[in-house]
Chain A
Amino acid sequence: MLEIRNVNKRYGTRKVLTDVSFGVDSGRLTGFVGANGAGKTTTMRIILGVLSADSGTVLQDGVPLTGDDRRRFGYMPEERGLYPKMRVGEHLVYLARLHGLSSASARRNTTELLDRLGLGERAGDLVQSLSLGNQQRAQIAAALVHDPEFLVLDEPFSGLDPLAVEVVMGVLSGYAAQGAPVLFSSHQLDIVERLCDDVVIIADGEIRANGPREQLREQHSSPRFELRTIADAKWIRAVPGITVLDLSDGVAVFEAATDAASQAVLREALDRAPVTSFSQQRPSLATIFKEVVR
C-alpha cells in the first residue's frame, strides 16, 4: 500500500497543499476527487516525484519511495502527449524499454495491451494520425505497457467516448483485481461512484473526506427515510418524532428524530397497507462532494 503523509506544497506565496495525508490500498481502486485547482495534479506529481514536496513523505509499505520504486509506477499525466511522429507500437515499446523491459517482453506487452484497448490494428500508424479518442487510448497504454505495480492516472476518462470509458474501466478494475493499487482522479463523479472502492475528496489543498465509498455514504447519510405504500400515507404526520419533508399519495419522505421513531412508522404502515419499499436515503457521491467541499 501507498501512503501520502503530511505533504505540504507552496508555489511562491500560494499554498497549494496543506497537510495532505491519505492511503491507497493494494487491490483497490481509489478515486481522487476535487474541483479544478484543488491540488489533485500537484499531489499526483509529488507521488510520482516529478515535483518535490516542501515537507511530508510518500511511503510504500512504510518505506519512503525511491526513484527505482517510481519507475515501476504507471503514470498518466493530466497533460497528455506522445511523440507525434512515432508509430504507436514503436512508441509503446520505447517506453517499456525505458522502464527496463527487454525488447521481447516490451513487444509482447505492447501487442497484448493494444489488442485489449482495441488499438491492435493501429500499431503501425503514426501517433499524430490517430483520432483524439484513440490517442487517449494510446496514452492509457503508455501508462500500462511496463506492467506497473502501481497506477496513478490523472483524469484517465476525460475525452473518452462512452465505449472507451467502458474499456478503460474494465482495464483499471482488472489491474486492481490483480492486486495493484490504483489511484485516479476524475471530474466524472458518476464514474468514480460506479468504479471506486475508496474515495478521497480534496478541496483548496486539504483532504476533506477520505475512506471506503460505502462508509463515506454511511457517514454522510442523514436520518432521512423514504416509505412507499399502496395507500395514502397522510397519517405519518401524526407519528411522534417525525418531520415529513415530502408527501404525495403513497410516497413519503421524512426525517426521524430517533431510530425508534422510524421503526414505529414502518410498523404502522405495515398494519395499514402493504409496503412496497422502505429505505434510508443514502446520498450520492455528488451530494457528499458538494457537502464536504463547501
Chain B
Amino acid sequence: MSAPRNDRTGTDHAGTDRVQARPRYPAPTFARSVWLVATREIMARLRSKAFLISTGLLLLISIGSVVAGSIASQNQTLPKVAVVGAAAQIVEQTQAFTTVQADDVDDAEALVRAGTVSAAVVPDTATDASVGVRVIALDSAPVDVLATLSVTPTLDLLDPSTQQSGGLIYLVSLGFGLVFFMSAITFGSTIAQSVVEEKQTRVVEILMTTIPVRALLGGKVVGNSIMAFGQIVAIGLLVAIGMATTGQTGLLGTVGPSIVWFGVFFAFGFVMLASLFAATASMVSRQEDVGSATSPVLFLVMIPYFLVIFFNDNPTVLAIMSYIPFSAPVGMPMRIFLGTAAWWEPLLSLGILLASTAVVILLGSRMYSNSLLRMGARVTFRQALRG
C-alpha cells in the first residue's frame, strides 16, 4: 500500500527541489497588514459602480448649492423705505434701500402701518434735531436703517466675531449636517456590508488565521476613512473653488476656517463611527440583517444632523453639541463659523473626541473579534463584549 506514495514522490522532482529553496517569509508588521487590508478596501470601493455614482452625485449637489447661493445673493432685493421731501436725497445717497416717495408724514406712516415699507424716513422738524431726519417704524427699531443713517465713530474690535445673516447660517449648517450625514451613512454602511460580506462568504476564517483580527478591523476602518475623508476634501475643494470663481470670496473667508475644522473633526469622528459600524455589523451573518444591526449607530449619525438643522440659532444646543463626540464634527465647526467658540474650545472638543474614539476602537475591536466566528443567530451585545 505504500507503493503509490513512492510513485508520486518520484514524479514530483521539481517540487522536491523547491523544498530546500523554500524561503521563510517574515510575517509583515502590524502596520503593513493594516495597510494591505486598507488598500484592498479602497480598490473594492473604486471598482464599485454604486460608490462612483453616489460620489458623483454628492459632488454635483455641493457644487450646485454654491452656484445656487451665488445666484440668490445677486438677486437680493433692497429693503423698501418710504421717504418724504428732503429725506429722499439723504436716503438715496446710501444706495442701501429702495425708496418709496410719500406725500407727507401721515402718508409715510400709513405705508409703514400697511407693511409696504419697513420704515419711513421723514425730515426732522424738531429744534434740537442733530441729523435732520426722523425714522418711523412699526413696532421695533429698524436696525439696518438706523445703522445706515447714523454717524458711527471709528470702531476697533479687539475680538472680532463674525455675525452672519440667518439665511447663510441655515445654508452652512445644512451643508455641514448634510455632508457629515451623507458621508457617514455611505461609508458606514459600506464598512458594515464589507464586514458581513466577509462573514457571509466565510473568507473571514482564512483572514483570521493570516493576520491579527485587530489588523483586519484596522485596515477596514483606515481604508474606508481614507475614502470618506477623500470625499470630504474633494467636496471642500470644489466648494472653495466654486465660491472663488462665482465671486463669493468674502463668503469663502468666513466659511473657510470652519470648513478646515470640519475636515479635522470629521477625520476622527468618522474613525469612531466606522469602528462602531464594523463592530455592530460583525454581530450578524447575513446582509439582510445589516440594517437592523447597525440602526443604533445610524441614529447616532442622524441626531446631530437634525439637531444642527433645527437648532442652528440656539447657542446652548450648539454648545452642547460641539462637545458630544458624535455631534462635535458638525457642532464645533458651526460654532467656529458663528464666531461663538473661543480659541481653545475646538482643541478641547477634539481632545474629547480623540479619547472617546480610542475607547470606541477598543470596545469595537473586542466585539468584532468575539463575533466573527459566530455564524447563524445574531450575537448579543453581552456575548460580543464578554467573548
Q: How far is the CA of A70 from the CA of B27 in the complex (A)?
A: 10
Q: Does A273 contact B (CB under 8 A)?
A: no
Assess whether B203 is in contact with A81, with CB atoms less than 8 Å apart. Answer: yes
Q: How far is the CA of A71 from the CA of B205 in the complex (A)?
A: 13
Q: Which of A67, A149, A197 contacts B5 (CB 8 A)?
A: A197
Assess whether B211 is in contact with A178, with CB atoms less than 8 Å apart. Answer: no
Report if A178-B16 is in contact (Cβ < 8 Å); known contacts: A70-B209, A197-B5: yes
Q: How far is the CA of A80 from the CA of B37 in the complex (A)?
A: 20
Q: Min CB distance, B344 to chain A, in Å? A: 44
Assess whether A99 is in contact with B5, with CB atoms less than 8 Å apart. Answer: no
Residues 118-135 of A, flagged 1 when their CB comes within 8 A of B and 0 if not, give 000000000000000000
Q: Which of A143, A174, A214 contacts B15 (CB 8 A)?
A: A174
Q: Does A167 contact B (CB under 8 A)?
A: no
Chain A positions 81-122 with a Cβ under 8 Å from a chain B Cβ: 81-86, 94-95, 97-101, 105
Assess whether B27 is in contact with A71, with CB atoms less than 8 Å apart. Answer: yes
Q: Does B160 contact A (CB under 8 A)?
A: no
Q: How far is the CA of A80 from the CA of B373 in the complex (A)?
A: 13
Assess whether A82 is in contact with B373, with CB atoms less than 8 Å apart. Answer: no
Chain B residues lying within 8 Å of A149, measured Cβ to Cβ, are 22, 24
Q: Which of A71, A75, A147 contacts B22 (CB 8 A)?
A: A147
Q: Does A179 contact B (CB under 8 A)?
A: yes
Assess whether A79 is in contact with B1, with CB atoms less than 8 Å apart. Answer: no
Interface bin, chain B: 35 or more
Q: Does A73 contact B (CB under 8 A)?
A: yes
Chain B positions 2-44 with a Cβ under 8 Å from a chain A Cβ: 2, 4-5, 8-9, 12, 15-16, 18-19, 22-28, 33, 36-37, 40, 44
Q: Does B201 contact A (CB under 8 A)?
A: yes
Indicate the member of B15, B197, B204 with the most A CB atoms within 10 Å: B15
Chain B residues lying within 8 Å of A98, measured Cβ to Cβ, are 28, 33, 36-37, 207, 210-211
Q: Does B113 contact A (CB under 8 A)?
A: no
Q: How far is the CA of A67 from the CA of B201 in the complex (A)?
A: 24
Report if A194-B4 is in contact (Cβ < 8 Å); known contacts: A48-B209, A101-B25, A147-B22: yes
Q: Does B149 contact A (CB under 8 A)?
A: no
Assess whether A50 is in contact with B209, with CB atoms less than 8 Å apart. Answer: yes
Chain A residues lying within 8 Å of B212, measured Cβ to Cβ, are 67
Q: Which of B8, B40, B203 contacts A177 (CB 8 A)?
A: B8
Assess whether B24 is in contact with A72, with CB atoms less than 8 Å apart. Answer: yes
Chain A residues lying within 8 Å of B297, measured Cβ to Cβ, are none
Q: Min CB distance, A110 to chain B, in Å? A: 14
Assess whether B210 is in contact with A77, with CB atoms less than 8 Å apart. Answer: no
Chain A residues lying within 8 Å of B15, measured Cβ to Cβ, are 174-175, 177-178
Residues 350-384 of B, flagged 1 when their CB comes within 8 A of A and 0 if not, give 00000000000000000000000101000000000
Q: How far is the CA of A100 from the CA of B23 in the complex (A)?
A: 11
Q: Min CB distance, B382 to chain A, in Å? A: 14
The residue of chain B having its C-beta at the shortest distance from the C-beta of A81 within the complex is B202
Q: Which of A100, A142, A179 contacts B27 (CB 8 A)?
A: A100
Q: Min CB distance, B260 to chain A, in Å? A: 36
Q: Which of A50, A86, A179 contacts B373 (CB 8 A)?
A: A50
Residues 166-210 of B, flagged 1 when their CB comes within 8 A of A and 0 if not, give 000000000000000000000000000000011001111111111
Assess whether B210 is in contact with A95, with CB atoms less than 8 Å apart. Answer: yes
The residue of chain A having its C-beta at the shortest distance from the C-beta of B375 within the complex is A79
Chain B residues lying within 8 Å of A95, measured Cβ to Cβ, are 206, 210
Q: How far is the CA of A269 from the CA of B191 in the complex (A)?
A: 78
- The tally of residues in A whose CB lies under 8 Å from a CB in B reads 45
Indicate the member of B4, B8, B36, B211 with the most A CB atoms within 10 Å: B8
Q: Which of A67, A70, A83, A100 contacts B26 (CB 8 A)?
A: A100
Chain A residues lying within 8 Å of B36, measured Cβ to Cβ, are 94, 97-98
Q: How far is the CA of A24 from the CA of B230 in the complex (A)?
A: 50
Chain B residues lying within 8 Å of A79, measured Cβ to Cβ, are 202, 205, 375
Q: How far is the CA of A68 from the CA of B26 in the complex (A)?
A: 8
Indicate the member of B18, B19, B205, B208 with the most A CB atoms within 10 Å: B205
Indicate the member of A85, A146, A178, A197 with the most B CB atoms within 10 Å: A178
Report if A214-B210 is in contact (Cβ < 8 Å); known contacts: A77-B205, A101-B25, A178-B22: no
Chain B residues lying within 8 Å of A80, measured Cβ to Cβ, are 202
Assess whether A178 is in contact with B18, with CB atoms less than 8 Å apart. Answer: yes
Q: How far is the CA of A72 from the CA of B25 in the complex (A)?
A: 8
Additional A-B contact list (18), CB under 8 Å, known A73-B209, A147-B23: A45-B373, A68-B27, A75-B209, A77-B205, A77-B209, A79-B202, A81-B203, A82-B203, A83-B197, A94-B36, A99-B210, A100-B25, A100-B27, A105-B25, A170-B8, A174-B12, A194-B4, A197-B5
Q: List 17 A-B contacts (CB under 8 A).
A: A45-B373, A70-B209, A73-B209, A75-B206, A97-B28, A98-B28, A99-B28, A146-B25, A147-B23, A170-B8, A170-B12, A174-B12, A177-B9, A177-B12, A178-B16, A178-B22, A214-B2
